[in-house]
Structure 1
């Protein structure tokens, strides 16, 4: 998905804005709402925001749940997560988010 794609038209929140909030620890729709304002207008974008929240690595199609499970099972580096899940093994754009998942364990 293009980083500059507007997801929330009411508040002009882009895909990248949502990903940046995730890197800062947002993992729920309420946390995204608080950090970005997305889905606080008409709310039609909430489903799209939830889809973004559920994904860590678009290249390999790796979910947040899969990465969290890998971390909880002992993957404590981005390389270990990449080996176990594939996340971060292609273009590398998701590595910062993977690092945050490792740090927060969520």
Structure 2
């Protein structure tokens, strides 16, 4: 996965920034939104963020 790929263009948030937020303790879409701002402007990236949260939290205690 390209960690430099932009997921949220409104807030300029990348895959890597979402992973970093999850590594720092974010466990839900809402946690990631609070930590990064991703998905809080137009909302068109919400499903992509939700998918990344699921992918990056696999194996982590929820």
TM-score strictly above 0.5:
yes
CA displacement at 1:27 relative to structure 2:
1.2
Q: Distance in 2 between matches of 1:31 and 1:37?
A: 10
| Structure having greater relative contact order (Cα 8 Å, sep ≥ 6) | 2
CA displacement at 1:46 relative to structure 2:
0.5
Which residue does the alignment assign to 2:31? 31
Q: Distance in 1 between matches of 2:44 and 2:5?
A: 15
For structure 2, the residue ranges without an aligned partner over 5 or more in a row are none
Q: TM-score, structure 1 length as denominator?
A: 0.55
| Larger gyration radius, structure 1 or structure 2 | 1
Q: TM-score, structure 2 length as denominator?
A: 0.91
Alignment of 1:11-50 (within 5 A): 11-50=11-50
Alignment of 1:1-106 (within 5 A): 1-56=1-56, 64=58, 67=59, 101=60, 105-106=61-62
Taking only aligned residues, the RMSD between alpha carbons, in angstroms, comes to 1.3
